[in-house]
């Protein structure tokens, strides 16, 4: 699984091409990039891949590994990751070993909030992120704690702390963030706005 949705293809960029975020931009010379703040280079030309800034941070490649920097060029993490993604809601998905699919998250100060052990992860949304262990999905919160046993067929959809749409044994239901059942696992489909389908009939659950 590749998380780098914003990879810049170096061969398509001009030497003078900048990727701006406020007063910060990446400047290219040959195959390498430096970070420029205003008119001043604050790093040397050491990066081989760069992303745009999201939530004030960009992932960059130095050598064969990735890390994050802020808009002033300061390192947010060490360069230890084989795969990275942009920051969403204060967290970014990372992996040190893509062969084994060991993914987890770092927070806005570069701390790993959980063990990098998941085969797949989804971005944080409404304070939770869906993560997959083996073939089953569960949720973690912003501290990295798993909210429930991984038993779900697909990534849970967090509508709010009160309503989380999940699929178990091919049936759809709704739980809350404390794993209490709100609507039983009897539905053939439940959409994010609370429209449920049962035996070709539509039922509005009112999740919003």
CATH class label, 1-117: mainly beta
CATH code: domain 120-208 is 2.40.10
Sign of the Cα pseudo-torsion (151, 157, 161, 167, in order):
negative
The tens-digit pLDDT sequence of the chain (208 residues) is 445 434 433 333 323 334 444 489 999 999 999 999 999 999 999 999 999 999 999 999 998 999 999 999 999 999 999 999 999 999 999 999 877 779 999 999 999 999 999 999 999 999 999 999 989 999 999 999 999 899 999 999 999 999 999 999 999 999 998 899 999 999 999 999 999 999 989 999 989 7
Q: Do domains 1-117 and 120-208 have the same CATH topology?
A: no
| φ, ψ (nearest 5 deg) of residue 11 | -70, -15
E strand spans, 118-200? 120-121, 128-133, 136-141, 157-158, 164-168, 171-175, 181-187, 189-190, 195-198
Long-range contacts, stretch 148-155, CB < 8 angstroms, 24+ apart: 148/175, 148/179, 155/122, 155/130
Query: Which pLDDT belongs to residue 101?
Result: 77
- Domain residue extents for the chain: 1-117, 120-208
Query: Which pLDDT belongs to residue 3?
Result: 52
């Amino acid at each position: 699984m590749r998380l780098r949705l914003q990879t810049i293809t170096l061969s398509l960029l001009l030497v003078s091409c900048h990727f701006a975020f406020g007063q910060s931009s990446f400047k290219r010379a040959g195959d390498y990039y430096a970070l420029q703040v205003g008119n001043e280079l604050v790093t040397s030309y050491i990066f081989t891949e760069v992303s745009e800034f999201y939530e004030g941070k960009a992932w960059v490649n130095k050598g064969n590994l990735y890390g994050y920097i802020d808009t002033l060029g300061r390192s947010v993490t060490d360069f230890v990751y084989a795969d990275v993604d942009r920051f969403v809601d204060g967290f970014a998905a990372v992996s040190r070993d893509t062969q084994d699919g060991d993914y987890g998250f770092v927070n806005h100060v570069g701390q790993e909030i959980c063990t990098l052990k998941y085969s797949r992860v989804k971005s944080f949304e409404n304070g939770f992120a869906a993560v997959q262990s083996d073939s089953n999905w569960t949720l973690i919160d912003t501290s990295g704690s798993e909210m429930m046993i991984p038993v779900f067929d697909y990534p849970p959809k967090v509508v709010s702390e009160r309503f989380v749409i999940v699929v178990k044994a091919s049936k759809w239901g709704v739980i809350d963030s404390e794993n209490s059942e709100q609507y039983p696992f009897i539905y053939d489909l439940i959409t994010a706005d609370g429209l449920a389908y049962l035996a070709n009939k539509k039922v509005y659950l009112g999740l919003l």
